[in-house]
């Protein structure tokens, strides 16, 4: 019986460890997936942020050059100088984040060329304004190349934002799905633990009930045997007492007959 | 069945109609009239009747030697004495009848069972 219980405890223990191991493995894989999606989401936010900053810088380049061109005052060039200093760093960040695995890799490449072009056009405005005066600069401006490049930058920036927006929505859906899976795993884990506990409880209860029943049967048997022994002892005692009484009774009768016989002999001798 | 204590047994317990349930004869005794009787009737007052036999009965005690009461049957030509080995009864209503075991001095043993009212016909 004890050996049987030990085996059942061992089997239950192995079963629990196996189930927990399996659930733990799936939970680990799930967390890994969540981590991957989170990293990707972070990259998308970085792309969106860098893209937005580059677009703003392109506007600063254009606005700074135009302000100087119209006024001829050097302080209007401040946004221009700040923008042409900053945008290469932002472009480096964008190139780093939007690598060949992303959908906007080509667009970033194009954006880089357009920004170079934008910078070059604005430099030309400033140079013409400095060397040939306002009328010559306005004539260059009227050609409209700067406006076209600015429009292309704007459209490209919007396109990058739209593409990455879609990627972001997909990632959020994936994340939500992963969270659902995590909750399902958690419920599965709780369910398995509760089920295992119930099974273990039933096994132990059966064992204990069986053992109690066996103990009760043994106890009843012992009681029955005790009663039988007592009954047999009582029967033997009674039988012995009966036999003893019968012997005494017979002796009593024999003595009586003996006395009567002796009396008759005495009477005969007296005659 | 509960055995009545010997010191409690009185003639009232013996009186009544008794039927032979079983009998054991001694090897030395070829026949014993009291074993052949179908119904023993111990009347109150000491009269004994059994089929065609009639006589008297009474109880004596010799507790210094044996605790069992001795039942005496007296007939005109002979006397029998029997030791009461057992007088048993049921403490509650039951199909079982009172039982009386008599051990005679000649070695015969009779097991009697008491008849109820109306059964002695």
- What is the value of ipTM here, to two decimals? 0.84
- Closest CA in chain A for residue B64: A248
**B54 vs A: CB within 8 A:** no
pLDDT tens track for A118-164? 999 999 999 999 999 999 989 988 898 999 999 999 999 999 999 99
> Do β-strands B79-89 and B99-104 pair in parallel, antiparallel, or remain unpaired?
antiparallel
DSSP string over chain A: -HHHHHHHHHHHHHHHHHHHHHHHHHHHHHHHHHHHHHHHHHHHHHHHHHHHHHHHHHHHHHHHHHHHHHH--GGGGHHHHHHHHHHHHHHHHHHHHS-TTSTTHHHHHHHHHHHHHHHHHHHHHHHHHHHH-HHHHHHHHHT-HHHHHHHHHHHHHHHHHHHHHHHHHHHHHHHHHHHHHHHHHHHHHHHHHHHHHHHHHHHHHHHHHHHHHHHHHHHHHHHHHHHHHHHHHHHHHHHHHHHHHHHHHHHHHHHHHHHHHHHHHHHHHH-
Residue A2 has pLDDT above 70, yes or no: no
Domain boundaries along the sequence of chain B: 2-114
**What distances in angstroms separate CA A242 from CA A5, A257, B13, B56, one per listed residue?**
55, 22, 20, 26
pLDDT of residue A1: 55
Tell me the average pLDDT of chain B: 90
pLDDT of residue A26: 83
pLDDT tens track for A51-87? 999 999 999 999 999 999 989 999 999 999 999 999 9
- What distance in Å separates residue A203's CA from the closest CA in chain B? 48
- What distance in Å separates residue A265's CA from the closest CA in chain B? 21
**B67 vs A: CB within 8 A:** yes
| Best mutation target, B5, B62, B83, to test chain A (most A CBs within 10 A) | B83
pLDDT of residue B86: 94
CA distance A73 to B115: 149
- Closest CA in chain A for residue B67: A245
Fold exhibited by the domain B2-114: Lipocalin (2.40.128)
- What distance in Å separates residue A234's CA from the closest CA in chain B? 12
**A245 vs B: CB within 8 A:** yes
**Are the beta carbons of A250 and B105 separated by less than 8 Å?**
yes
Q: Quick count: other Cβ atoms within 10 Å of Cβ A218?
A: 10
Contacts of B70 in chain A (CB under 8 A): 249
pLDDT tens track for A16-36? 788 778 878 888 888 888 888
**Are the beta carbons of A253 and B85 separated by less than 8 Å?**
no
Q: pTM for the complete prediction?
A: 0.52
pLDDT of residue A194: 87
pLDDT tens track for B47-56? 999 988 899 9
Contacts of A252 in chain B (CB under 8 A): 62, 65-66
pLDDT band at B120 (very low <50, low <70, confident <90, very high): low
Contacts of A248 in chain B (CB under 8 A): 65-66
Contacts of B62 in chain A (CB under 8 A): 252
pLDDT band at A116 (very low <50, low <70, confident <90, very high): very high
Q: Are B65 and A248 in contact (CB under 8 A)?
A: yes
Residue A261 has pLDDT above 70, yes or no: yes
**A237 vs B: CB within 8 A:** no
**A253 vs B: CB within 8 A:** yes
Per-residue H/E/C for A208-250: HHHHHHHHHHHHHHHHHHHHHHHHHHHHHHHHHHHHHHHHHHH
Q: Which residue has the higher pLDDT, A98 or B120?
A: A98
Extract the tokens encoding B51: 């089929």
**B15 vs A: CB within 8 A:** no
pLDDT of residue B6: 93
Q: Are A105 and A86 in contact (CB under 8 A)?
A: no
State mean pLDDT over A240-260.
89
Tell me the average pLDDT of chain A: 89
Q: What percent of chain A clears pLDDT 90, i.e. is strictly above it?
A: 51
**Are the beta carbons of B107 and A252 separated by less than 8 Å?**
no
**Are the beta carbons of A252 and B62 separated by less than 8 Å?**
yes
| Best mutation target, A245, A254, A255, to test chain B (most B CBs within 10 A) | A245
């Amino acid at each position: 019986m004890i050996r049987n219980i030990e085996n059942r405890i061992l089997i239950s223990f192995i079963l629990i460890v196996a189930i927990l191991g399996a659930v733990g493995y799936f939970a680990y894989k799930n967390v890994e997936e969540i981590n991957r999606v989170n990293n990707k989401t972070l990259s998308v936010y970085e792309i969106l942020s860098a893209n937005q900053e580059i677009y703003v810088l392109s506007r600063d380049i254009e606005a700074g050059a135009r302000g100087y061109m119209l006024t001829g005052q050097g302080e209007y060039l401040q946004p221009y100088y700040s923008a042409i200093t900053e945008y290469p760093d932002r472009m480096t960040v964008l190139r780093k984040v939007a690598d060949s695995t992303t959908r906007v890799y080509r667009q970033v490449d194009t954006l880089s060329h357009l920004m170079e072009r934008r910078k070059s056009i604005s430099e030309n405005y400033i140079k013409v304004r400095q060397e040939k005066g306002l009328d010559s600069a306005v004539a260059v401006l009227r050609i409209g190349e700067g406006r076209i490049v600015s429009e292309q930058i704007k459209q490209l920036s919007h396109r990058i934002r739209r593409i990455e927006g879609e990627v972001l929505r997909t990632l959020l859906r994936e994340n939500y799905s992963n969270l659902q899976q995590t909750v399902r795993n958690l419920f599965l884990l709780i369910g398995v633990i509760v089920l295992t506990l119930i099974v273990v409880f039933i096994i132990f209860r059966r064992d204990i009930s069986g053992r109690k029943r066996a103990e009760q049967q043994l106890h009843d048997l012992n009681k029955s045997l005790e009663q039988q022994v007592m009954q047999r002892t009582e029967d033997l005692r009674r039988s012995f007492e009966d036999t003893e009484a019968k012997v005494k009774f017979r002796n009593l009768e024999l003595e009586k007959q003996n006395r009567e016989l002796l009396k008759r002999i005495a009477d005969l001798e007296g005659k | 069945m509960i055995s009545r204590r010997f010191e409690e047994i009185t003639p009232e317990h013996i009186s009544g109609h008794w039927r032979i349930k079983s009998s054991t004869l001694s090897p030395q005794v070829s026949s014993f009239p009291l074993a052949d009787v179908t119904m023993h009737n111990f009347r109150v007052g000491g009269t004994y009747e059994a089929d065609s036999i009639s006589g008297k009965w009474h109880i004596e005690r010799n507790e210094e030697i044996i605790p069992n009461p001795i039942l005496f049957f007296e007939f005109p030509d002979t006397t029998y004495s029997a030791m009461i080995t057992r007088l048993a009864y049921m403490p509650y209503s039951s199909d079982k009848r009172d039982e009386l075991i008599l051990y005679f001095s000649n070695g015969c043993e009779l097991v009697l069972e008491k008849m109820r009212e109306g059964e002695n016909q």
